[in-house]
Amino acid sequence: MEKRVVITGLGAITPIGNNVEEFWNGIKEGKCGIDEITHFDTTDFKVKLAAEVKNYNPDDYFDAKTSKRMDLFSQYAVIAAKEAINDAKITSENTDMDRVGIIVSAGIGGLSTIEKNNKILVEKGPDRVSPMYIPMSIVNMATGNIAIELGIKGESMSIVTACAGGTHSIGEGFRTIKHGYQDVMLVGGAEASITPTGIAGFTNIKALSREENKNRASIPFDKERSGFVMGEGSGILVLEELEHALKRKAKIYAEVVGYGATSDAYHITSPSPDGSGAAKAMKIAMEEANVKPKDITYINAHGTSTHLNDLGETLAVKLAFGDASKDVMISSTKGNTGHLLGAAGGIEAVVIAKAIEDNFIPPTINYKVKDEECDLDVVPNKGRKINVKYAMSNSLGFGGHNSSILFKKYV
């Protein structure tokens, strides 16, 4: 028998808040976390802006030995996971930790560790490369470190599907519980790729905005958009089998009811221009939930602020929703946070869970110039207080990966 799956814990560290409360308040207030890059000297770089986590000191979270053995993306993952598990009040006394699993995505992993050790290799030779280089840089170590920190002994894995990974992780965690393999799953993503090669690589593929006005750099669906802005951080959710949650008398934020995953099979970086792959992912999620397009109140769009993405996603929503696309509210919170790559789906799932809890639709901030091609209701600049019964989040990744998840108000 298929199980019902609910959300009982949330955790986040983001460019607009270092915990869920700060993050969500920042979303509601329309806060922009984009500013000048401080992680490295950008003198020779065409891109000067990113959305960095602010006021972060690893000593506030880890002892010196532990933090030195974890790349920044793993640190962010552990911080968000601990907040989520504490929020859910999951303990070894009320939960069999062999029945708790983890799926956490990263698009790139320990890029700063890779850069640092490559420089050491070139300048000082192979014997000086850190013995911690590999266990700090590989993508699965966000998941591994969470398991070690929290004593989680069930399924433990990482999904790497570029910018779709966080949402894929949530969807696969949902299925794992739905089909009875685990009782609880920690799911989401973590990323820390605001580094010289990270910024240079995305700049040279013409994906990043070179805008120097932080309020006009990440402007999803705006006609003047010119590329995305790199963000960093982590978003983690605790998914739990309903009866397990009720037995513990856990707080329930929302119910997970649908998940869709498809491939464009089109291009290594560009989405399918007709939006068909993304549309199919949304349709699959709605079919699993047994709902109609008219039932969906809100979509948190992938909405990267690139011309191809925003246009393709607009077409995808029209294709998936038909006439209901005129009524659904669709906003992108990447104007607030930048684009967190493999962690985007994690923090944006936190957004839709909170949107359902608070009955609040987040705005697309810094929106000024209407694009005739992106003509859906993008909730420009001001959020809306409205009952949210169903909310969807979309994530699309290089390689043609598409993922959609659908949450429902729990009653």
- pLDDT of 38-70, one tens digit each? 999 999 999 999 999 999 999 999 999 999 999
In order, the DSSP letters of 202-239 are: HHHTT-B-----GGGTS-TTBTT---B-BB-EEEEEEE
Is the CB of residue 107 less than 8 Å from the CB of residue 342? yes
CA distance 46 to 17: 27
Between β-strands 233-241 and 298-300, what pairing exists: parallel, antiparallel or unpaired?
A: unpaired
Which position has the token pair 């290594």? 268
For CA atoms 133, 138, 143, 147, give the dihedral sign: negative
Prediction pTM value: 0.97
The strand pairing partners of 404, in sequence order, are: 260, 394
pLDDT at 88: 98
Is the CB of residue 297 less than 8 Å from the CB of residue 389? yes
Residue 32 Cα to chain centre, angstroms? 17
Domains of the chain (ranges plus CATH)?
5-248 (3.40.47.10), 258-408 (3.40.47.10)
Determine the residue type at 379. V
For CA atoms 143, 281, 7, 176, give the dihedral sign: negative
What's the pLDDT band for 331 if we cut at 50, 70, 90? very high
> In 3D, which of 255, 210, 195 has the Cα closest to residue 37?
195
**Average pLDDT, stretch 326-354?**
98
Residues serving a catalytic function are 163, 302, 339
Residue 24 Cα to chain centre, angstroms? 14
Is the CB of residue 365 less than 8 Å from the CB of residue 218? no
**Average pLDDT, stretch 264-286?**
95
Is the CB of residue 317 less than 8 Å from the CB of residue 328? yes
Per the structure block, which two tokens stand in for 255? 């119910």
pLDDT at 398: 95
The 10 Å Cβ neighbour count of residue 55 is: 6
Q: What percent of the chain has pLDDT over 70?
A: 100
CA distance 187 to 259: 14
pLDDT at 198: 98
pLDDT at 376: 98
Per the structure block, which two tokens stand in for 205? 């593929």
**pLDDT surpasses 90 at 135:** yes
**pLDDT surpasses 90 at 142:** yes
Determine the residue type at 144. G
Is the CB of residue 192 less than 8 Å from the CB of residue 230? no
**pLDDT surpasses 90 at 1:** no
